[in-house]
Structure 1
Amino acid sequence: MTDLSALAADLPVSTEPVHRIVVVAEPNELAHHLQAWEQLVEQAAEPNAFYEPWALLPALRHLRGGQAVRVLLFFRDSERTVLDGILPLFGRSYGRLLACLHTYRHRYCFSAEPLLRRGRESEVAHSFVAWLRQFRYPLLSLRGLDAEGAWLRELRPALQRCGLRFLPAAPVQRALLPLEGGLEAFLERTPAKKRKEYRRLRERLAGLGDLQVDVLRPGARDLQSWLDAFVALELKGWKGREGTALGSRPECRRFFEETARSAHERGLLVMMRMSLDGKPLAMLCDLLAPPGRYAFKTAYDEDYSRFAPGVLLEIENATLSFQDPRGVEWLDSCAAPDNALLNRLYPGRRSLSDLTICPQGLAWAGLMASSGLKRLRQRWRLEEAGRTA
């Protein structure tokens, strides 16, 4: 089956359905379920800021391009008032022979964990697997999932019970700052030599003029000036040169500003700025989804890179995170797994894993062959590297 438009209907998922799955294709239609969605966020087993209404709707409006995005809504009642889960997917066809579903992740989405109502995780997983069996997609690729989260914990046994084959990928880890240990423990984990180096850099920077660190206050009316300054600072750096900055594409800037405004209205936006004589040297933008906080975007002035203003601001941000009164328990760096700086600065780790599901036997055989070939190529590269070393 390659035509995803056939999914946009109400679908019973099994002979004894736990949920009625509604598949929504358009942001305006999805907004009709806003009340149930907001209630789900309040009762979610695990947070995901990027799938909350104020972040996902702007992404669907501005970033999906030509992708056939489908958002699965798991309703427990026929009146569609009790929502137990929300899972965004998109379809991709590879010629005429294969159609795959993938978790929906745009370039600014750093978590693909579905929103699941606390206590209903297993039921949602069962309903999802029954839905998969009904439509029999050759492949489903779930990427960037919390390897220790509720979704994978419940989905794997549900797949096994129904006889659906799946292939997990080896997890990767990215830096995470747990806040339960307190500020003193965080500072003590930073080597004394590094703390001395950071103090020296800050003192040298302060010697050049009036060095200030400002925080955007909840409800502040100058949000737009903060957003404009951030976009301009990011455009000035390497992301601007490579065309990947928010300001490089109008649709990316529209997404950023709409998401930031919506988060600010809800008290879920954190922005910080380090400036010298009123000139921004480094800025960051975090998104709150208590008990979590996500390091969404950062930018710094490369003309001052010898003073590491981005690092200094990260330290300020980590320090203030311990004083946040909004029930935050951890700060996700949202960084690449090989980010040496944040791996050194943040002692915790979040394990992320991919899961490929093959409801059809032929797709499984192809996946096994592809996986075996990949491992063989990796072995050849290692042997070749050993011969030339």
Structure 2
Amino acid sequence: MVHYGRVLTSVHEILDVTSSEALIGGIGIIQSIEDDWRQLCEETNCDPFFRPEWIGTYIHAFERENEVVLLTTRVDNRLTAVLPLIRKRALFAGMPVLKLVGAANLHSVRFDILRAPGPAGDAAVEAIWSLLKRTPHWHLLEIPMFPAEGSCQQLLSFADRDGYGTRTRLDCESPYMRIKVDGFGRADWLGETTRHFRHELRRFARVLESETGGPPRLVRSDKADLELLRKFFELEASGWKGREGSAIQCSQETLAFYEEIARFAAGAGQFCLHSLEAGGQMVAAAFSLVTDDCFYPVKIAYNESLRRAGPGHLLINAILEECAERRIRELDFGGSKDRFKTLWTSAARQHFTGIVFNDDFYPSLLYQLRANLLPALKQKYSSFVNRFRVRGREGATVRLRGRVPAAKVSVGSNHG
């Protein structure tokens, strides 16, 4: 990095010239830096989930009543990092807390600090941690869905270094797959699948044509067409997600979030909705984001009455073929490691939730409560329950033994 004609190469040198600022307010503060934010996205080729449009849409849909806190760093007025947080009141271990939470939930795929590459980014993360320590009014920092070895993990290591209480738990393992190319330029996306699964894909196509009266056909739309989106949302709600109330259209906030994501991503050339059609009907569909090198099927739905024909797998196979043609080399399923995805790949990325406890008395008490007292009480309770069960079994054995001699005497007297 060059600073006033001087080449800076070490993290400490860059840290000395890095400024930091906490922007606090409503959703409008995103607009105040969105141009610089977008520029940082272009420089880092980041995931779509870190862009200001995605974060702003998330906040508008799910957090509009809460305060927004943007932690930012700059070098020579150039944005080098941004960490979007939400300040909210909540309960932790049954105790009231004021916490800062990363602007993400289960619809966000992943979350992390957006930062410049190299030493400038490393310096930015350390500057954000220093800024966070000076930021008032928080007991806990909660960072959801960050990847292993990501910048948020680096932030947690700084907290550990400075003696702050931290906790980390595994959220999920998200499958992904690489489309490989052999020496002749031929793409292969089925290399990790079993021979049986490849056979099933061929059988699925025959069964689907038999049941619908027409061969499966992939249709792609790069526009946020409301009618097509409505069909997708209805297809998703027609299955188990609709019955349990977790489908997109079961929540007005979630529906508004996905409609807006489709709108802005389509404008940026990063949205597509694939539908697998057979016999004149949509039998499977994927709501996806796409970049030059990665495809993200954020939501997948299929007609569960046609489950025997595997429409979801036929859809993914057709999408992968299209990705190969477009030279997109990775498909990132996101979400959890369920069987539908692991039939395609064994590779998965771990995502974590991390918590940092502020160093005031009350947060320190909460840390001790969660880290020491509650586990000890849980162990004592489990030990008590186990002893009670053992005594119950011993008592039942004694009672059973007490009945056996009487039964023998009775049988003996009948034969006397």
| TM more than 0.5 | yes
CA spacing shift, 1:381–1:73, aligned 2, 3 Å: farther
Does residue 162 (structure 1) correspond to residue 162 (structure 2)? The answer is yes
Equivalent-residue separation in structure 1 for 2:333 and 2:43 (angstroms): 24
Q: Using the TM superposition, give the Cα deviation of residue 283 of structure 1 relative to its aligned residue in structure 2, in angstroms.
A: 0.3
* Equivalence map 1:1-389=2 (5 Å): 18-44=18-44, 47-77=46-76, 82-94=78-90, 98-119=97-118, 120-135=120-135, 137-152=138-153, 154-170=154-170, 172-180=172-180, 185-207=188-210, 208-218=212-222, 223-325=225-327, 328-337=328-337, 339-360=338-359, 361-369=364-372, 372-373=375-376, 376=379
User: Which string of whole-angstrom CA distances, capped at 9 and with x for unpartnered residues, describes residues 276-330 of structure 1?
Assistant: 22210100011124544322111111221221211221222233223334xx443
CA spacing shift, 1:380–1:148, aligned 2, 3 Å: farther
Once the two structures are overlaid, the 10-residue window that deviates more, 179-188 or 280-289, is: 179-188
Equivalent-residue separation in structure 1 for 2:318 and 2:380 (angstroms): 44
- Per chain length, whose mean CA-contact separation is higher, i.e. which structure has more relative contact order (CA < 8 Å, sep 6+)? 1
> Which 5+ residue runs of structure 2 have no aligned equivalent?
1-14, 394-416
CA spacing shift, 1:189–1:322, aligned 2, 3 Å: same
> Which 5+ residue runs of structure 1 have no aligned equivalent?
1-14
Q: TM-score, normalised by structure 1?
A: 0.82
Q: Using the TM superposition, give the Cα deviation of residue 269 of structure 1 relative to its aligned residue in structure 2, in angstroms.
A: 1.0
Please say if residues 121 and 151 of structure 1, whose CA atoms lie closer than 8 Å, have aligned partners that are also in contact.
Answer: no
Q: TM-score, normalised by structure 2?
A: 0.77
Taking only aligned residues, the RMSD between alpha carbons, in angstroms, comes to 3.2
User: Which string of whole-angstrom CA distances, capped at 9 and with x for unpartnered residues, describes residues 136-190 of structure 1?
Assistant: 63321222110132442x3244334433332333574221112345675531321
Equivalent-residue separation in structure 1 for 2:382 and 2:326 (angstroms): 48
Equivalent-residue separation in structure 2 for 1:369 and 1:87 (angstroms): 30
Equivalent-residue separation in structure 2 for 1:16 and 1:335 (angstroms): 39
Letter in 1 for 2:100: L
Equivalent-residue separation in structure 2 for 1:181 and 1:378 (angstroms): 56
Q: Which has the larger radius of gyration?
A: 2
User: Which string of whole-angstrom CA distances, capped at 9 and with x for unpartnered residues, describes residues 181-223 of structure 1?
Assistant: 56755313211111111211111212332234334254x5x73
Please say if residues 147 and 171 of structure 1, whose CA atoms lie closer than 8 Å, have aligned partners that are also in contact.
Answer: no
Equivalent-residue separation in structure 2 for 1:116 and 1:377 (angstroms): 45
Q: Percent identity between the aligned chains?
A: 20
Which consecutive aligned stretches of 4+ in structure 1 deviate over 6 angstroms post-superposition? 377-384
Q: How many residues in Structure 1 have an aligned counterpart in Structure 2?
A: 363
Equivalent-residue separation in structure 2 for 1:278 and 1:144 (angstroms): 39
Please say if residues 272 and 285 of structure 1, whose CA atoms lie closer than 8 Å, have aligned partners that are also in contact.
Answer: yes
